[in-house]
Structure 1
Amino acid sequence: MYCSKCGAKHDINSRFCPSCGAPINNPTSADFNQNDLRHDVTSDKSAKTEALRAYIGKNADYYINKWQIETGEVKKDSWNWAAFFLGFFWLGYRKMYSVLFALVAVFLVTDVILYALDIDGSLINSGIGMGTSVFLGLMGNYLYYLQAEKSIVKNSHQDIYLKDKIATDGGRSILGVFLAIFMIIVYIVISAFILDPVFATPEVEVIEFGYSEMDGEIDDPSSEFQPYDEIFFSFYFSSLEGGPYKVVIEKLEGTESLYDQWEDEVPPDWPGVVASMYAPEEEGDYIMKIIQDNEVVAKGEFSVE
């Protein structure tokens, strides 16, 4: 039972509210049987079923049949097409906010893990989305029953049910649908604009190699050279802003070992560089890295045969 003044929960036999001290006029069994409360409280053998109907409101027969209340044991798995197709919106519509928040949290935690492991999550998220739809389609009715049961327990005492309060807790909510839309938007914003920039690896441009250049572009592209060939290479800075940078060449021999390095600089308004060098005298595979502000902003591989 709840205090009419402060809303605190109290025992049905309490004379004063344990929270605010206000006197309590507790209804007795006789009170509940009075005609003026007949439509608010019921205590016959079908009282719980009627309480469930009060909680559900519209489409009560549908859920009562799905739960198979008459068997005495609630059916846990039964299909709900609305829950399958509408998902989060159905949860909001039926005021199942705790399940809604829990599923959004699952999606966010999954995104954090995928971003941290640098895994493309498009297929995984699609799978989780479909799995969520199937889960709600199959178990949504039972989850709804558990929520209705919670409300009924809160608003009953000794098989006496306050149907008006139960009906207020349950029913449908258009605002709940808007809450679901809001939660989806929050998830998208957090995932796309917070998690993605935090975990995303810096973009690395590709270095192009060739035998010649024309008008700032590689004219005769190739990644295979002879010792002492003149190698032309070009790249863009990931920020499209020049300045000082370092060129590092490593030889690939199972592991990367430093072969050569030097520093260079271009005007800040240069978005990229076209330059040349001579091929190493040693045959093998090489990787060139362009480092700016202690980060690799471009890299590419070539070989000497």
Structure 2
Amino acid sequence: MKSLVNSMYCPECGKELNESEKFCGNCEKQTSAVESDLTQIPENVQNDNLLSAFVGEKKQAYYFGKWHPDNKRPINWAAVFATFFWLGYRKMYKVIAYILLIFIAIDIVILVTGIDGGPINNYIGLGVAVTLGIAGNGIYKNHAQKEIEKLQTEYSGEQLLEKVKQRGGTSWGGFWIAILLFSGYILISIALEMLAYLFLG
């Protein structure tokens, strides 16, 4: 990962430059006359560097490829098949919590109305998998940008870069957190069924 400090970039197009270069080889802008600008990294370049740091080195090419506007196949197959566990692995715990709260609300409606919840739950599970497969990359990018924005209010420079790396990346601990959250949902669902049986007959 390139350092965010003491880097030299063309203020016109963002191309990285050597200190000795008098003209940008990409856009031909004269650089010697704007030396003060060269010490400042263009915002779009810094944002991409921070986003790359958040994603992690191994998957930078994959996610930036998926996020490209010209990508016609943005499906995230890991999100399709792993759903909650992919979310946990990528540290998106709030998304897991929101989905499980929706599941609990649906379970309550099913129990109160007395309708057959089997087919409904199957369709909902399939819907979650498809939705995460199609929108998962966008959800992850939005999550990453929000986390980076929070960190930018507290840190800068190399410290910011390190904090972004720590906040992002992957986590097998997060994977197990997702399992625990889903297990908690199962226990709540069972408890709701027992309460419905006792009070609703």
Q: Would the TM-score normalized by the shorter structure come out above 0.5? A: yes
Q: Per the alignment, in what secondary structure is the counterpart of residue 150 of structure 1?
A: helix
When residues 55 and 138 of structure 1 are mapped into structure 2, their CA distance, relative to the original with a 3 A threshold, is same
The answer to whether structure 1 residue 102 and structure 2 residue 98 are counterparts is yes
Give distance in 1, aligned partners of 2:5 and 2:78. Answer: 38
**1:248-305 C-alpha deviation (Å, 9 max, x unpaired):** xxxxxxxxxxxxxxxxxxxxxxxxxxxxxxxxxxxxxxxxxxxxxxxxxxxxxxxxxx
**1:90-149 C-alpha deviation (Å, 9 max, x unpaired):** 000000111010011111110001001111101000000000000000000000000110
Q: Per the alignment, in what secondary structure is the counterpart of residue 155 of structure 1?
A: helix
Give distance in 2, aligned partners of 1:46 and 1:34. Answer: 14
Give distance in 2, aligned partners of 1:55 and 1:86. Answer: 21
TM-score (norm 2): 0.72
Unaligned runs of 5+ in 2: 8-39
Q: Which letter does structure 2 place at the counterpart of 1:155?
A: L
Q: Which letter does structure 1 place at the counterpart of 2:66?
A: K
Deviation for aligned residue 1:34: 4.8
- Within the candidate set 182, 193, 199, 1:196 is matched to 193
Give distance in 2, aligned partners of 1:165 and 1:124. Answer: 42
Give distance in 2, aligned partners of 1:52 and 1:135. Answer: 23
The answer to whether structure 1 residue 164 and structure 2 residue 170 are counterparts is no
Deviation for aligned residue 1:183: 1.0
Alignment correspondent of 2:60: 60
Give distance in 1, aligned partners of 2:88 and 2:113. Answer: 32
Alignment correspondent of 2:34: none
Q: Which letter does structure 1 place at the counterpart of 2:62?
A: Y
Report matched runs for 1:202-221 at 5 Å: 202=201
Deviation for aligned residue 1:197: 1.3
Give distance in 1, aligned partners of 2:111 and 2:147. Answer: 39
- Within the candidate set 123, 129, 134, 1:133 is matched to 129
Q: Which letter does structure 2 place at the counterpart of 1:62?
A: Y
Alignment correspondent of 2:177: 179
Give distance in 2, aligned partners of 1:180 and 1:151. Answer: 19
Q: Which letter does structure 2 place at the counterpart of 1:195?
A: L
Deviation for aligned residue 1:151: 1.8
Alignment correspondent of 2:46: 47
Q: Which letter does structure 2 place at the counterpart of 1:43?
A: I
When residues 43 and 165 of structure 1 are mapped into structure 2, their CA distance, relative to the original with a 3 A threshold, is farther
When residues 198 and 95 of structure 1 are mapped into structure 2, their CA distance, relative to the original with a 3 A threshold, is same
Q: Which letter does structure 1 place at the counterpart of 2:81?
A: F
TM-score (norm 1): 0.48
Give distance in 2, aligned partners of 1:86 and 1:180. Answer: 11
Alignment correspondent of 2:10: none
Q: Which letter does structure 2 place at the counterpart of 1:49?
A: D
Alignment correspondent of 2:33: none
The count of aligned residue pairs is 158
Report matched runs for 1:254-273 at 5 Å: none
Alignment correspondent of 2:83: 87
Q: Which letter does structure 2 place at the counterpart of 1:198?
A: L
Q: Which letter does structure 1 place at the counterpart of 2:144?
A: A
Deviation for aligned residue 1:199: 1.2
Give distance in 2, aligned partners of 1:184 and 1:33. Answer: 42
Give distance in 2, aligned partners of 1:147 and 1:167. Answer: 14
- The root-mean-square deviation of aligned C-alpha atoms, in Å, is 2.3
Q: Which letter does structure 2 place at the counterpart of 1:63?
A: Y
User: Greater RCO between the two (CA within 8 Å, min separation 6)?
Assistant: 2
Give distance in 2, aligned partners of 1:131 and 1:90. Answer: 16
Alignment correspondent of 1:150: 146
